[in-house]
Structure 1
Amino acid sequence: MKVLFYTRGDYQKNMAGDTIQFLKTKEYLEKLGVEISVSHNPHEDLSPYDLIHLFNTIRVQETYSFFKNACYYNKKIFLSPIFWNYIDYIPKRQKGAMEEIYWDESDRLRREIFQGVDVILPSSIMEMREIGNRFHTNKHYEIIPNGVDPLFAKGRAEDFISQYKIKDFLLCVGRVCKHKNQLALAQVAKELDIPFVMVGPVNHLDYYHRCLRVNPDLIYMPNVDHQQLPSIYKAAKVHALVSWYEIPGLVSLEAGLAGCNIVTTQEGSTKEYFKDYADYVDPHNIQDIKEKVSQGMMREKNDALKNYISQHYLWNYVAERIFQAYQQ
């Protein structure tokens, strides 16, 4: 089986959750014998491929050009949408009229994609419900959850502790930007007098400096290799991802498999994944975030979430689900 993965051209330079999903899906499908090529050329010759797999409808302009090329070649098209109605979650004070107009215009392209592909592979029932309600599509779909690599269960806390001399800290892994809401965590960590570590690229430099002004003691790690993350997770007490929304946040799966206590946003598909194993917060309620982080810091770590994730969300399981969908 020959498959083309169509994805944004900067997926390696501008690393995000969709990058990890894309790379791990590719890695584990190849272990099952699927022959996969990668392209971001909207004029790619698609004649050699049995089917086309598109990723991400948030940055929809590129995806739309890939979709149109696949239609031109009359190929079967699979879509991992990675979609949530982003515009509804921007605080009103930060939302501009031009941004709303741009989002509405982008929805026209999304609607054509969702109604034109052959199979949609949402990461949750809630994501598919969001797509169905907004774009009125009745296309065939298969729920394909996001996955996590088993290496995150094997970190050595000592590797981090020996270098940075802290342990049992509050951790947030992810792009530093307003959507991820690290500013609230910086404030909460300062008020609770607990160490706070941020890991990930800075998307908005001014926002990073705001976090630093609120909490000058925070530890920021910008260039962390993916192989180093398991040890950082292992040394942390709580991983918090209090974003405007998450679907569900790959880093929360990674942290949960590493044994962290999890605090995450209530917005998005998080509860579908983490059930009663996590604490959920209103991302706009600083007191709620403070209380949940404090509870997580006081609670002993245990293996309940780790075991649950191991049974349901490892990448080999996810890849098998996708492979079955391809074969159908």
Structure 2
Amino acid sequence: MKILFGSYSAISVLGGGIKVQMTNLAYHLQKFGYEIEIFKPTQDYNLKEFDLFHLFGAHLGTYHFGRAMHSLGMKMVVTPIFFSKRNPIQLYWLTKLAKGLRHFGGIWTEHLFTQELCAMAKIVTPNTEKEALLLTKGLKVNKEKIKILPNGVDEKFYNANPELFIQDYKLRDFILYVGHIGWRRKNLLALIKALARIDRKAVFIGPVLETDYAKILLAEIKKNKNIILIPNLPPNSPLLASAYAACDVFVLPSYYETPGLAALEAGLAGAKIVITKYGGTCEYFADYAEYIEPRSIQSIKNGIIKALNKKKDKTLAEHIKNNFLWEKASQRLVEIYRLLTG
């Protein structure tokens, strides 16, 4: 079976969780006899060669791509990666209002792009039950289409060696953040302010964006001698896995995560996790993480201190290893594809 993967056009330069998900699923699906090709915008395609099209992300950035594939007759699976701070009832009425604005004034909202792409899909694969509820109750996506597809993580992080990072940076048992530095959704300004109240070294690893918010973050980081910024560490660097293993606590204080691949990687490497309570994170980290309210600096601080005071063990790592490796996610995706292809 041959399947075409696709997502938004900037994924090749921005990277991030969706790219990690696509590339890992593509790799592991080959073990089940599937041929996966990741869409390249300038390449010519004979779509008759493909059995399915799988779209990752359902939003403005993927809407025209998904609509084109649907119009050309491709069977489509959509992994929406959707979150809203609204409850399902509020989301339903806001989307209903948005439809009226679109009809009379040509005004679109992000929710409408998600809703229409899910309507085009044969199967919709949210990665949590909470996302599924938002889709079915809030956006009225057909329940029969919904098949949960959990995110995954590479098993290599389970065996990560802390010594490489410790030797290079002379640090251990620090607080760690990994991700883009400059997106407001990641909520790093609140994290920096919380860290100012905690006497512990912290490391930020990730590309620094050219945004006004990033400039504010860099200025605040300079004020705190305990924060070390490492901006140019590749995602596949052995030092990244080593940093996860060398840290004491990993923090992801975002406004939401679905569920936060970096946190899964860190947890598999043995780090204690402090993470936002929004986006279905509890379905992955269960009772093994500290959940924080991202809009409260005090909550972030309290979560970190509580995690620092806990003994480090492998309980979370074993939970992730048993439930969320890419091999298991790929097996689930094979089951989903077979519903369409037999």
TM-score (norm 2): 0.86
Q: Matched residue of 1:191: which SS?
A: coil
Q: Matched residue of 2:49: which SS?
A: coil
Q: Matched residue of 1:254: which SS?
A: helix
Task: Look up the equivalent residue of 2:176 and give its one-letter code.
Answer: L
Match of 1:132 in 2: 136
| Aligned-partner Cα distance in 2 for 1:108–1:44 | 28
Match of 1:149 in 2: 154
Match of 1:20 in 2: 20
| Aligned-partner Cα distance in 2 for 1:19–1:103 | 30
| Alignment partner of 2:121 out of 117, 121, 132 | 117
| Aligned-partner Cα distance in 2 for 1:162–1:282 | 35
| Alignment partner of 1:269 out of 274, 280, 288 | 280
| Aligned-partner Cα distance in 1 for 2:109–2:282 | 30
Task: Look up the equivalent residue of 2:50 and give its one-letter code.
Answer: Y
Deviation at 1:216, TM superposition (A): 4.2
- Please tell me whether residue 193 in structure 1 is matched to residue 199 in structure 2: yes
CA deviation string 1:95-136 (max 9, x = no partner): xxxxxx999533322221111210011101101111122211
Quick one: structure 1 residues 260 and 103, their matched pair in 2 at CA, closer, same or farther if it must change by over 3 Å? farther
Deviation at 1:264, TM superposition (A): 0.4
Structure-to-structure mapping, 1:270-289, within 5 angstroms:
270-289=281-300
On the 8 A contact 2:203/2:230 being kept in 1, the answer is yes
On the 8 A contact 1:240/1:262 being kept in 2, the answer is yes
Match of 1:49 in 2: 50
Deviation at 1:21, TM superposition (A): 0.9
On the 8 A contact 2:175/2:250 being kept in 1, the answer is yes
Alignment RMSD: 2.1
Quick one: structure 1 residues 272 and 233, their matched pair in 2 at CA, closer, same or farther if it must change by over 3 Å? same
Deviation at 1:40, TM superposition (A): 4.5
Task: Look up the equivalent residue of 2:38 and give its one-letter code.
Answer: V
On the 8 A contact 1:80/1:121 being kept in 2, the answer is yes
CA deviation string 1:116-161 (max 9, x = no partner): 2100111011011111222111151211101000011111111011
Deviation at 1:214, TM superposition (A): 4.5
Quick check: 313-322 or 110-119, which moved more? Answer: 110-119
Task: Look up the equivalent residue of 2:237 and give its one-letter code.
Answer: Q
Q: Matched residue of 2:250: which SS?
A: strand
Show structure 1 runs of 5+ residues with no match: 89-100
Deviation at 1:182, TM superposition (A): 1.7
Task: Look up the equivalent residue of 2:251 and give its one-letter code.
Answer: A
Deviation at 1:31, TM superposition (A): 2.2
Equivalent pairs, count:
314
Match of 2:221 in 1: 212
Match of 2:95 in 1: none
Percent of counterpart pairs with the same letter? 32
On the 8 A contact 1:202/1:208 being kept in 2, the answer is no
| Aligned-partner Cα distance in 2 for 1:104–1:289 | 35
| Aligned-partner Cα distance in 2 for 1:292–1:304 | 18
Structure-to-structure mapping, 1:90-105, within 5 angstroms:
104-105=108-109
| Aligned-partner Cα distance in 2 for 1:287–1:240 | 14
Quick one: structure 1 residues 213 and 219, their matched pair in 2 at CA, closer, same or farther if it must change by over 3 Å? closer
| Aligned-partner Cα distance in 2 for 1:194–1:143 | 39
Match of 1:74 in 2: 73
TM-score (norm 1): 0.90
On the 8 A contact 1:121/1:142 being kept in 2, the answer is yes
Deviation at 1:86, TM superposition (A): 6.6
| Alignment partner of 1:247 out of 238, 242, 258 | 258
Match of 2:90 in 1: none
Quick check: 268-277 or 65-74, which moved more? Answer: 65-74
| Aligned-partner Cα distance in 2 for 1:274–1:216 | 31
| Aligned-partner Cα distance in 1 for 2:258–2:318 | 21
| Aligned-partner Cα distance in 2 for 1:40–1:7 | 10
Quick one: structure 1 residues 199 and 305, their matched pair in 2 at CA, closer, same or farther if it must change by over 3 Å? same
Task: Look up the equivalent residue of 1:116 and give its one-letter code.
Answer: M
| Aligned-partner Cα distance in 1 for 2:40–2:73 | 18
